Amino acid sequence: MATGKRDKTFVASIDIGTTYSGYAFSFKHDYEREPTAVKVNQKWVAGTSSLLSLKTSTVVLFDKNKKFHSFGFEAENKYSNLAEDEEHRDWYFFKKFKMKLHGKKVTRDIVIPDDKGREMKAMIVFGAAIKYLKDHLLNLLKTRKTQVDDKVIHWVITVPAIWTDSAKQFMRESAYEAGIDGALLSIALEPEAASLFCQIPPSDQSIIGVTERAKFALVQPGTKYMVIDLGGGTADITVHEKQSDGGLKEIHKATGGAWGGTKVDDEFSQMLIRIIGGPVYQKFCDDKIADFLDLQRELETAKRLVKPTTDDKITMRVPVSISEIYRKMMKEEVTDALDASRYKGKIKWNADKMRIDPGIFKSFFKPCTEKLIAHLNYLMKKPDVQGTSIFLMVGGFSESDIMQTAVTDAFPKVSVVVPEDAGLTIVKGAVIFGHKPITNRITARKAKYTYGINISPPFDPSIHPEDHRVTVGGVDRCRDVFKKYIQEGETVLVHEPRTGKHVTLKAHQKEMLLKIFASEKSNPQFVDECEVEYIGPLIVKLPDTPDKIRVEVRMKFGETELMVEAEEQLNHEVFTAYFDFC
């Protein structure tokens, strides 16, 4: 649950990605020009002068006592050095841990495995990552003589819009673990943050000319556009319509899947396994940590450089240790394995160099492109999505020429916009989201779930199942009936209340417990059905009276949170709870 208002002078956003993480920061009103995305441990592409990423690698390292040691490239380097001396086995190294929250109900006590399968509480791992980025920003401001008390900073954490309600709440509580005050914290949905950022033309467009983002910011009211957020782990897609007042209306609820850039990594790994076999590959991953990390970085470079028009072989450096392990375990050379595989004549592997046929390398992207295009085709046939004229591609994986070309070729009549530094649009947009007032905000949403409260109406044997019959105060009632307030797929204006009346069940009742539930079903009948999730309580304190008391409930969306407000009708005291669910 969340409370508080965003009225701080400074806003900082934190983006915990699947493969890279970073943050952005702005003083009040600086967002009207452009938020500052700080370069955290920037990484250079080997042999070129271009940046591989403005963010740091999303990995966390804990020592043998489960004490936080380091984050990002620093953690990778430390772990590599430990592995070189065979001293890494008691340490805890977590990578790509964000995907552990995707597509599942998450509890506070959920545990996640490190690279060796040993478990730690996920909230400790996520909290350490957030705390590192928070402290990194504060230390950077201090060294630049711009020291800011963190009590005057409003923090914004970004999350995929397609995540479950419990996963979003988990991120909020992980921020508490990092020492962020809940009253100074907001949760921003990643595609919405990117959409907000692209509403504001670049401040330097007069110098560099009219950019794609500047053109996008000038779209006319009534324009429908699809935000396609391609990150390391997921594809997160929503559809907005520009309003006459500059606001944005969500016209289709967020959808997507696990079709991010790490799928390419998985395909590359499967190729290696087909050549050298699973046991050899696993031995390499377990015993040669430094070499494995180097291979991942080499692959990341190749992924970003390959283009649809590339017709030369893709050259990658691969650790010699792979060949050495294969020779020791299989009693033959890795070239023998390659000749016996489906890749004979298409891949050359000599010592520390692998040259891959461009068709083979580009096929690594195929699972992502096929699933993305199929899903976009499915969405474009929806009545409320028809007429969408622009695709806004954001997120780090959107910078891939192969992904851009796949979307452009599949939808030639749609204008595809890829803003410069697409990977930073989310973290910068989250800063914009954190400031008030702002005109280009989300004014209406499509409810992702059906929301309601459990009630116990008088038992009716003609409609209620016998196993739900209970007796309260001498009256037979039906337990756990789902009283619907907001229906899945329904358009709901931000801050528009949905109201209902509830009555106490007995005299001298001291409090009323309102349990809030959500479901992907449009019309759940009972709160104990499958696909119905309990998301939290609202406790209403009641005056002591022999009479039954009426309680009016108001349920409404905030910007990215559900607010439930209950007013007892005797003394008119109001009780409120916020849930980061939308």
Residues 439 and 491 placed together within one structural domain of the fold: no
73 within a domain of the structure (yes/no): yes
Residues 179 and 245 placed together within one structural domain of the fold: yes
* Residue 478 contacts residue 495 (beta carbons within 8 Å): no
Q: What is d(CA 175, CA 130) in angstroms, rounded to the nearest whole number?
A: 6
* Residue 331 contacts residue 226 (beta carbons within 8 Å): no
Closest CA to 48 of 232, 260, 300: 300
Residues 466 and 326 placed together within one structural domain of the fold: no
Residue-level pLDDT at 52 = 43
Q: What is d(CA 424, CA 21) in angstroms, rounded to the nearest whole number?
A: 10
Instruction: For residue 181, count CB atoms less than 10 angstroms from its CB and return exposed for 0-12, middle for 13-18, buried for 19 or more.
Output: middle
H/E stretch holding 361: helix 358-363
557 within a domain of the structure (yes/no): yes
423 within a domain of the structure (yes/no): yes
- Residue 514 bridge partners (DSSP): 538
Residues 236 and 267 placed together within one structural domain of the fold: no
Residue-level pLDDT at 524 = 96
> Which residues contact residue 80 at a Cβ distance below 8 angstroms, ignoring those fewer than 6 apart?
289, 290, 293
Residue 546 sits in a domain whose CATH number is 2.60.34.10
> How many domains is the chain built from?
3
- What's the token pair of residue 551? 């309680």
Q: What is d(CA 28, CA 435) in angstroms, rounded to the nearest whole number?
A: 7
Pairing mode of beta strands 469-472, 353-356: unpaired
Output the average pLDDT for the chain: 86
Q: What is d(CA 295, CA 259) in angstroms, rounded to the nearest whole number?
A: 21
Q: What is d(CA 190, CA 386) in angstroms, rounded to the nearest whole number?
A: 23
Residues 297 and 320 placed together within one structural domain of the fold: yes
Phi then psi for residue 532, to 5 deg, are -115, 125
> Which residues contact residue 490 at a Cβ distance below 8 angstroms, ignoring those fewer than 6 apart?
446, 447
Of the residues 363, 396, 426, the one at which a domain ends? 363
432 within a domain of the structure (yes/no): yes
Residues 421 and 517 placed together within one structural domain of the fold: no
Closest CA to 190 of 402, 15, 50: 15
421 within a domain of the structure (yes/no): yes
Residue-level pLDDT at 176 = 93
Residues 256 and 378 placed together within one structural domain of the fold: yes
Residues 503 and 417 placed together within one structural domain of the fold: no
5 within a domain of the structure (yes/no): no
Closest CA to 386 of 397, 377, 399: 377
The H-assigned helical ranges of 6-146 are 73-84, 122-143
The residue type at 209: G
At 274 the three-state DSSP class reads helix
Pairing mode of beta strands 185-189, 153-159: parallel
- What's the token pair of residue 139? 């230390």
Residues 384 and 344 placed together within one structural domain of the fold: no
**Stated pTM of the model:** 0.83
What's the chain's length in residues? 582
Of the residues 332, 363, 394, the one at which a domain ends? 363
Residue 14 sits in a domain whose CATH number is 3.30.420.40
Q: What is d(CA 406, CA 372) in angstroms, rounded to the nearest whole number?
A: 9
pLDDT values of the chain reduced to their tens digit, one per residue, 582 residues: 333 344 456 888 999 988 888 888 886 555 455 566 544 444 433 333 333 445 788 999 999 999 999 999 899 999 989 988 889 999 999 998 988 888 777 888 899 999 999 999 999 999 999 999 999 988 888 887 777 777 888 999 999 988 887 788 889 899 999 999 988 898 888 998 898 888 877 665 443 445 677 667 667 889 999 999 999 889 999 999 988 887 888 999 889 999 999 999 999 999 999 999 999 999 999 889 889 988 998 998 898 889 999 999 999 999 999 999 999 999 999 999 999 999 999 999 998 999 999 999 999 999 999 999 999 999 999 999 999 999 999 998 999 999 999 999 999 999 999 988 888 889 888 888 887 644 457 788 888 889 999 999 999 999 999 999 999 888 999 999 999 999 998 888 888 889 999 888 877 888 888 899 999 899 999 999 988 988 888 888 888 888 888 889 998 876 667 888 888 888 888 888 877 543
At 406 the three-state DSSP class reads helix
Helix (DSSP H) and strand (DSSP E) numbers for the chain: 15, 33
Residues 266 and 325 placed together within one structural domain of the fold: yes
Of the residues 419, 444, 469, the one at which a domain ends? 444
Cβ of 426: how many Cβ atoms within 10 Å? 32
Residue-level pLDDT at 416 = 94
Residues 506 and 424 placed together within one structural domain of the fold: no
213 within a domain of the structure (yes/no): yes
Instruction: Give the range of the structural domain holding residue 334, as residue numbers without chain letter.
Output: 262-363
The dihedral through the CA atoms of 258, 261, 265, 271 has a sign that is positive
Phi then psi for residue 160, to 5 deg, are -60, 140
- What's the token pair of residue 159? 């999350």
Residue-level pLDDT at 558 = 65
19 within a domain of the structure (yes/no): yes
Residues 241 and 95 placed together within one structural domain of the fold: yes
The residue type at 254: A
